[in-house]
Amino acid sequence: MNPVALFWLLLAISFICYKLKRKKLSRVLAATAFILLFLFSVTPLPIWMLRNLEQQYHTYNPDSKSTQRPILVLGGGHTNDASLAYVHRLSVPALSRLAEAVRLYNLQPGSKIVLSGYSESGQMPNAVVMARSALSLGVAAKDTMMMVKPATTWEEAKYFKKRFGTAQEFILVTSASHMPRAMEAFRKLGMKPIAAPANYQIQKEPDSSLYPWKPSPNNLMYTETAFHEYVGRLYYKWFKEE
């Protein structure tokens, strides 16, 4: 999914073709590599692809009827640096997701926050780091629950279904770009999620163009994120069954 890796892969194959006297194919591959690099680092295409994902669901503001809906926060990664406070160990996506969950928790007295995220290499699970971060942000311990086993969105959906069933509506918190795939996964398993997106990467400033034509390393990151989500949605659609 990485556009830089794709660029160098195409150049490497182009070089091999050149050595094998396949010069026409070599030129085509090299030209393709540079065209793709231009598209994914200079043009507004990456911003458009990612914004198309992020704008499918908008900020959720609960009404008076939603006080008993649990809030599920999907895992987003963290560091295991023990010198840092738990809240500072969270990745940017995880911290943004947790902040959104705490905001909704404060608007819904009596609600529960379900924190998800597995353990990498036997270290502390992401769910535990988020739960302890939530406590430091004022969430009551009795209002937190954890799912420490799921490693993917699909596994999170299956585990949540097994634990909570399909009858109750719940608020699903994840990154805005990931929300379409997450909603599809939970709905495919018969559940009733309400989208509460967080971690918007494409943010429009009033006095600047949303789609500039200029080289930017952010464009490469946007491309990788968008490709990951689009391919992931196809994979869930074709290969995942209830």
User: Which 3-state string (H, E, C) describes 178-209?
Assistant: CHHHHHHHHHHCCCEEEEEEECCCCCCCCCCC
Instruction: Write out pLDDT tens, residues 88-119.
Output: 999 999 999 999 999 999 998 889 999 999 98
Measuring CA to CA, which residue among 179, 202, 232, 213 is closest to residue 72?
Answer: 179
Q: What average pLDDT does the structure give for the chain? A: 93
Measuring CA to CA, which residue among 8, 66, 80, 90 is closest to residue 194?
Answer: 66
Measuring CA to CA, which residue among 236, 191, 126, 175 is closest to residue 114?
Answer: 126
Residue 28, token pair as written in the block: 């085509």
The pLDDT of residue 237 is 84
What average pLDDT score do residues 133-162 get? 95
The pLDDT of residue 242 is 64
Q: What are phi and psi of 192, to 5 degrees?
A: -125, 70
Q: What are phi and psi of 99, to 5 degrees?
A: -60, -40
Q: Is the pLDDT of residue 63 over 90?
A: no
pTM: 0.91
What does the alpha-carbon distance between residue 211 and residue 148 come to, in Å, rounded to a whole number? 39
Q: Cα Rg for the chain, rounded, in angstroms? A: 21
Instruction: Write out pLDDT tens, residues 35-49.
Output: 999 999 999 999 999
Instruction: Write out pLDDT tens, residues 155-192.
Output: 999 999 999 999 999 999 999 999 999 999 999 999 99
What average pLDDT score do residues 197-202 get? 97
Alpha-carbon distances, residue 130 vs 75, 149, 183, 196 (angstroms): 8, 14, 21, 17
The pLDDT of residue 222 is 95
What average pLDDT score do residues 209-217 get? 90
The pLDDT of residue 142 is 95
- 60: confidence class by pLDDT, cuts 50, 70, 90: very high
CATH 3.40.50.2000 fits 58-198, yes or no: no
